[in-house]
Amino acid sequence: MRAMRVAIAGSHRVGKSTLLEAIASALPAYETVDEPYHLMEAEGHEFSHPPSLEDFEAQLARSLEELGSDAENVLFDRCPLDLVAYASVHEDGDSFDLEEWLPRVRDAMQTLDLVVFVPIEQPDRVKVTRDEDAGGLRESVDEKLRELLVEDALELGVEVLEVSGALARRVHAVLPRLSGARRPK
């Protein structure tokens, strides 16, 4: 398999991290990069609960920074479009200036060979508490990510693979693509 840079994207509580761990187990030569929230939290960043628009923008900046490395054979838990989706649907989302972020987001997304989109399924595969989906945020992010990734609303031209079903099915869908994806020009 050739060197690849792959991001696992999706709303919270859809199985992204579990999928990333399973792929990493199958491909031990791959480095994994945790999602910006966890990286920043481990460094002492204190997020509001629920996260503020500024929290999502800080995570977006961190995601852009992580994708800025030249490392190959990397699996990223989240990509910049995840954070764009969260910021866009946030209750203060009208203050989110996508146009200001877009050149950096576009450049960062072009460093990825593949984005694996893990949508919310019906019936939902993950039990979610009311607190984990305050105000329908999870569904709103899922819809926005579908628009940004699958429908390519920003015309980024990044290859997207949507996966569903049990974990084994998801892994089986991703592994063959890691040898066939092409980096956009």
Question: Could you tell me the CATH number of the domain that includes residue 166?
Answer: 3.40.50.300
pLDDT in tens, 6-24: 999 999 889 899 999 999 9
**Sequence-distant (≥ 6) Cβ neighbours of residue 30 within 8 angstroms:** 4, 23, 24, 73, 74, 75
By residue range, what is the domain housing residue 19? 5-179
- Domain assignment present for residue 139? The answer is yes
Count of residues making up the chain: 185
- Domain assignment present for residue 62? The answer is yes
- Domain assignment present for residue 10? The answer is yes
**Angle at 89 (CA atoms; ends 87, 95), nearest 5 degrees:** 55
- Cα–Cα distance measured from residue 15 to residue 142, given in angstroms and rounded to the nearest whole number: 13
Query: What pLDDT is stored for residue 123 in this prediction?
Result: 59
Q: How far is CA 88 from the centre of its chain?
A: 14
- Domain assignment present for residue 185? The answer is no
20 closest CA partner among 64, 78, 70, 60: 78
pLDDT in tens, 57-114: 999 999 999 998 888 899 999 999 999 999 999 999 999 999 999 999 999 999 999 9
| Cis peptide leading into residue 50 (ω within 30°) | yes
